[in-house]
Structure 1
Amino acid sequence: MNLQELTNRSLAGDIDELHLVSLEGGIYVLEARIGQRFHPIQDAKGHVLGVRSVEHARELLTALPPMPFHLVHAVVHDEMCGMQDSSLPDLGVPIPLH
């Protein structure tokens, strides 16, 4: 899903929430949740869109209506070892979208 599709789908009410995922090395990526599935936000070339900061994410998302927005810190060790347990609570911290 690219930014234009994210905007269109969020205006239609299809997006349940957004995650700004903080990865190792100060890199962030955006994910949109529709139902139980997360969709990474991609750039014009189809690559995962890299975001520099929370403020950069807000700049990219100015056209979106208010919705739940969470800053999520990825746990690199768990990802590397394949220890993702869906029964664990989300580590996301609610932050304002605008």
Structure 2
Amino acid sequence: MNVQMLTELAVKGHITELQLLSLEGGFYLARVRLDSVEKTLLGDDQQPLRIRSTTHLRDLLHGLPAFPCVLVQHSVHDEMCGVREGPIGGLRIPFSLNSVL
């Protein structure tokens, strides 16, 4: 999914959630969840779009209608130590595409 397709789906109200996944190396990838499928946001080169920050994402998607967004940060420490039982989910922090004042 590219930015143009994301824009079209957002205008139609079809975006269920955008997940901004924090990865090693100081960059993020965006996963867009629709009703029954998740898609990665791609750049012009058809490769996953590397996003530098939430501000970069806000600039990229400026002017789109509001939809739920969440920053997802996985804890490598929990995975390495294995202290918790059951599945280990990422920390999910809601945020808005509206500019922060």
Runs of 4+ in 1 over 3 A off after TM superposition: 74-78
Please report the TM-score for the alignment, with normalisation by the length of structure 1: 0.81
Give the gaps of 5 or more residues in structure 2.
80-86
**What is the aligned-residue RMSD (CA, Å)?**
1.9
Give the superposition deviation at 1:30. Answer: 0.8
Percent of counterpart pairs with the same letter?
38
* Greater Rg by CA: 2
What amino acid sits opposite 1:71 in the alignment?
A: L
Give the gaps of 5 or more residues in structure 1.
79-84
Which residue number corresponds to residue 23 of structure 1? 23
Give runs of aligned pairs for residues 15-94 of structure 1, distance below 5 A. Answer: 15-75=15-75, 85=87, 91-94=91-94
How many residue pairs get aligned? The number is: 90
Deviations 1:40-63 (A, max 9, x none): 000011100000111001101113
Please report the TM-score for the alignment, with normalisation by the length of structure 2: 0.79
